[in-house]
Amino acid sequence: LHLLARCRHLHAINSTLDTRNASINAVVHPARISPSVREPASLLYDFSVAVKDNICTSSMPTTCSSAILKDFMSPFDATVVKLLQNNGADIIGKTNCDEFGMGSENKYSVYGPVVHPHQPPNSDVPWENRERRSAGGSSGGSAAAVAAGLCRAALATDTGGSTRLPAAYCGVAGFKPSYGIISRWGVVSYADSLDCVGIVTEDVDDAGKLFGVLSAHDPKDPSAARPETRAQASAHCQYHLQQISGADDFSGLRIGIPQEYFPEEMDRSMHAPLRRILDNLMSRGATVLPVSLPSTPYALSAYYVISSAEASSNMARYDGIRYGSYAPPPLGSDKMKTANVYAHTRSQGFGPEVQKRILLGTYALSADAFDNYFLQAQRVRRLIKADFDRVFAVPNVLSSGETPEDGVHVLLHPSAIRTAPPLDEGQNADLGAYVQDVLTVPASLAGLPALSVPAGLGEDGWPVGISVVGQWGCDEMVLNVGRMVE
Ligand code: GLN
């Protein structure tokens, strides 16, 4: 009986997936779910989970939404995928994304863009005629899949905001944990020093459940935080957590509002949802303080130099010989010349945005430009980290700075400068796309835990997200405050 019920349940999931997915293009490789008998006591027994297509799965393709990996089947499952399965989750498919995670609107995908699933309230415009907006990127498929109810949760990645930005646009929760806390083994690298696995769910509680399962130390991940470091951070955070929360009394909680996080590009309608949340928290006793993170204006440039530099190195492996679909050089060219094979394969296989990042990154690493670009960007990265350490009450166990007397537990700010942008935006679309990351990249450069919480609808009727950012290793604190904000 149990098996029969499960078969029906899975069949229902599959058909919903097909029809709903057709209009939003969120899932690009659906799983063929075969009913297995799982332990109802498993931690994730009730979870159907979609996985971003840059995370390796042995039973479905892993293409990173790129033509260069169009036939790639991984021989193994990423650690995060194994952890999901071992804890009873159903993996329902792989989600669309910007190619190799490079983008903010999920437009740079070989499968075409993800279409935002939301319909503004009171709109009786039929689906075919309504405004098409971006679901955000690069994990647009993961956020749209959860928002459209195709699955209860999705795995994403977040290098500079790719979990939080689409989550904010789609009105769901998006969590980027501290760098090094969730295993990257089996996650296709974009920029290793920034890449994190992200979690997208409908609410913060579910994000916490997944985080509990996924945050296990993995010796196979060379960038994983060591168990002693985790324990040390967790002890500091626990100490502060005890001061923060009673069930409905937040009188110990100190929240910082970074004044640099309201740039002129921000749409003013982002302010009201944040104000609503702050009023609510203050009415329950929380203290709200303005804080300054003075290096913030340099974060976006530093991020794009560092991420492109690392990407140019990571993309070198797709040469049509070691990895990637081989594209034969055109007639008349010397097929035996390796450079021809590389050049042709890579010109055919990579989309224009990835090619642009490879060129920018290679330039930033070249002898002539290194000092002016890459080194400067690394300096800015250090300044950004120091800015955060100067405002948090919790010490950073990865650095040795002092904590301020009047430090804050978390920072709160809008996750994005606007609601979801139209999919078919014309001019200046490229620069506009990069500016969208301005509020998410600082936490990435500093490796901090950051959670975008759905904060209702903006004036235009589209979802708005508010971000909670905490000290390194304070993931539980960030999730706890996220629950208070929700
Ligand atoms: N939009 C940013 C970029 O293109 C962030 C992407 C990400 O976090 N994967 O680099």
Residue of 102, 195, 440, 444 best suited for mutating to test ligand 1, as the one with most atoms within 8 Å of CB: 102
Tell me: pLDDT of 5 over 90.
Answer: no
Ligand 1 centroid, distance to 446 Cα (angstroms): 15
Atom of ligand 1 nearest to the CA of 194: 8
Q: What's the CA gap between 30 and 328, in Å, rounded?
A: 30
Residue of 108, 354, 437, 467 best suited for mutating to test ligand 1, as the one with most atoms within 8 Å of CB: 437
Q: Is 437 in the pocket of ligand 1 (CB under 6 A)?
A: yes
Ligand 1 centroid, distance to 174 Cα (angstroms): 14
Tell me: pLDDT of 187 over 60.
Answer: yes
138: left (phi over 0), alpha (psi -120 to 50) or beta: alpha
Best CA proximity match to 455, nearest among 174, 257, 234: 174
Q: Which residues contact 432 (CB under 8 A, 6 or more apart)?
A: 421, 425
Write out the two tokens for 72: 């790639």
Tell me: pLDDT of 3 over 90.
Answer: no
* Average confidence score pLDDT of the chain: 92
Q: What's the CA gap between 230 and 359, in Å, rounded?
A: 37
Q: What's the CA gap between 465 and 458, in Å, rounded?
A: 9
Contact 29, 93 (CB under 8 A): yes
Q: Is 361 in the pocket of ligand 1 (CB under 6 A)?
A: no
List active site positions: 52, 138, 162
Atom of ligand 1 nearest to the CA of 137: 1
Ligand 1 centroid, distance to 441 Cα (angstroms): 9
Atom of ligand 1 nearest to the CA of 353: 4
Q: What is the pLDDT of residue 455?
A: 98
Ligand 1 centroid, distance to 100 Cα (angstroms): 9
H-helix or E-strand spanning residue 463 = strand 463-470
Q: Rounded to an integer, what is the distance from CA 344 to the centroid of its chain?
A: 32
Residue of 65, 99, 176, 307 best suited for mutating to test ligand 1, as the one with most atoms within 8 Å of CB: 307
Q: Which residues contact 175 (CB under 8 A, 6 or more apart)?
A: 163, 164, 198, 199, 200, 201, 204, 207, 211, 449, 450, 451, 452, 475, 478, 479, 482
Tell me: pLDDT of 427 over 50.
Answer: no
Q: In sequence order, what DSSP letters do the residues of 431-458 get, joined into one string?
A: HHHHHTTTTTHHHHHHT--EEEEEEEE-
Tell me the one-letter amino acid at 176. K
Model pTM score: 0.94
Q: Is 54 in the pocket of ligand 1 (CB under 6 A)?
A: no
428: left (phi over 0), alpha (psi -120 to 50) or beta: left
Ligand 1 centroid, distance to 103 Cα (angstroms): 5
Tell me the one-letter amino acid at 348. Q
Listed range (330-339, 352-361, 367-376) with the worst mean pLDDT: 330-339
Write out the two tokens for 21: 């997915």
pLDDT digits (tens, 9 = 90+) for 382-402: 999 999 999 999 999 999 778
Q: How many CB atoms are located within 10 Å of the residue 33 CB?
A: 19
The secondary structure of 34-92, three-state, reads: CCCCCCCCCCCCCCEEEEECCECCCCCCCCCCCHHHCCCCCCCCCHHHHHHHHCCCEEE
Q: What is the pLDDT of residue 426?
A: 59
Q: What is the pLDDT of residue 392?
A: 98
Ligand 1 centroid, distance to 256 Cα (angstroms): 25
Tell me the one-letter amino acid at 12. A
- Termini Cα distance of the chain: 38
pLDDT digits (tens, 9 = 90+) for 258-310: 999 999 999 999 999 999 999 999 999 999 999 999 999 999 999 999 999 99
Ligand 1 centroid, distance to 243 Cα (angstroms): 35
Q: Is 103 in the pocket of ligand 1 (CB under 6 A)?
A: yes
Q: Which residues contact 447 (CB under 8 A, 6 or more apart)?
A: 178, 179, 180, 385, 398, 472
Q: What's the CA gap between 400 and 48, in Å, rounded?
A: 42
Residue of 65, 66, 98 best suited for mutating to test ligand 1, as the one with most atoms within 8 Å of CB: 98
**Would strands 48-52 and 153-158 be described as parallel, antiparallel, or unpaired?**
parallel
Q: Is 79 in the pocket of ligand 1 (CB under 6 A)?
A: no
Global ipTM: 0.98
Q: Is 136 in the pocket of ligand 1 (CB under 6 A)?
A: no
Atom of ligand 1 nearest to the CA of 162: 8
Residue with the larger pLDDT of the pair 279 and 2: 279
